[in-house]
Chain A
Amino acid sequence: MTLDIITPDRKVFSGEATSITFPGSEGQFQVLNDHAPLVSTLDRGPIVVQSASGQQVFTVDGGVVEVLQNNVLVLAEAIVA
């Protein structure tokens, strides 16, 4: 599935991913291929992106995520280094 992580300042990540773990405000959850349509708010915490080339971690300071037909879109307020 394709994943885009964007903040108001820049595009942080754009590409393919096999599994993504989110710091949801109701608790951590994971999104795999063919996930049902979902909108969730995020808390401050790490987004773990698992892709063919390895694992990447982005720590976000709140945001929202939308999953629709294997397109995952994360609108993060800010990326904490």
Chain B
Amino acid sequence: MASLKEVRARISSINSTQQITKAMKMVAAAKLRRAQDNITQLRPYAQKLSQMLSTVSAGAETASESPYHQIRQVDRVLLIVVTSDRGLCGAFNTNVVKGALTLISEKYAAQARSGNVHIMAIGKKGGEAMQRRGFKVNTNHVDVFGALNFGNVRAAAEEAMDSFVSGQYDVVEIVYNEFRNAAVQIVRAEQMLPIVAAEAPKGSTASVNYIFEPSEEEIVTELIPKTLKIQLYKAVLDSNASEHGARMTAMDKATENAGELLKQLRLVYNRTRQAAITTEILEIVGGAEALANG
């Protein structure tokens, strides 16, 4: 059995670990609330934007002819992998990387063999993991989580869109964790480019006679890139909220496990202590008896 001193040292070390995990859990909870707020802020914007796009494109013909709709033979692929900057959040990052690898092996195996699947990393962890697996990683926009706002994400989206239009890539996909609730994240792969034509709801808004300035076509060409940027921004915000949710759950589990371990160690500690006392009493009694007999 371990000595009293050893057990005491373990108890105090686990105690401090538990304090750290508890603090991390609370920090994650606070950040999660902020991240959720961000998503709620974005929702009306995204909604109105797509509503406006469907209003305007009802009369315009260019909608399906924009450079973002061009379907080409798929030779070069860009995967935008959204992960976190930090670990200690359970399987959060592993799941995204796994999702990306599955997507590559299922859909883009041929392109990957010829080295034409490139990664754009958002969040350090995913970039590092993909680099280790031998993919070419674009790290221009890794650190958007340092100061998460639309401006940073917009730059990343613009780079992806430009490289698609210029023909550098034929398909752009986003892999990220979709936020369901604090405990549940779902890995999603979404095609960003070329745009998958959505079924527009018919006859709902076409009744109003708008004045269009400059023209319907030009407004549509202006709106399409906006919706793309919003799509990426939404993915990043979702991933951010998921990260904090995942970290909160992971740290909650860790705190619980530390508590369990402490309980067991205290039991061992008290048993050892009692055993020591019992031996001591036995020794004293034995000694006293020996003296009385002598």
State the A residues within 8 Å of B (CB). Answer: 6-11, 24-26, 29, 36-41, 64, 66, 68, 73, 75, 77-78
Contact = CB atoms under 8 A, between A and B. Distances in A.
B210 A37 contact: yes
Given A9-B149, A41-B219, A64-B223, A75 B48 contact: yes
> Nearest 6 CB-CB pairs, A to B?
A40-B213, A8-B150, A38-B211, A37-B210, A41-B222, A39-B210
Contact of A39 (B38, B42, B55, B150): B55
B154 A77 contact: yes
Interface residues of B, number: 29
Main secondary structure of the interface of B (DSSP, over half): helix
Interface in B178-233: 208-214, 218-219, 222-223, 226, 230, 233
Nearest to A27: B213
A6 B48 contact: yes
A24 B214 CA distance: 9
Interface of B: 38, 41-42, 44-46, 48-49, 52, 55-56, 149-151, 154, 208-214, 218-219, 222-223, 226, 230, 233
B63 to A, nearest CB: 14
Contacts of A25: 213-214
A26 B151 contact: no
A38 B209 CA distance: 8
Contact of B213 (A7, A41, A75, A78): A41
Contacts of A36: 211
Contact of A37 (B149, B150, B151, B209): B209
Contact of A11 (B41, B213, B218, B222): B41
B237 to A, nearest CB: 9
A78 B151 contact: yes
Contacts of B230: 8
B213 A38 contact: yes
A9 B48 contact: no
Contact of A66 (B41, B52, B149, B154): B52
Contact of B233 (A8, A26, A38, A39): A8
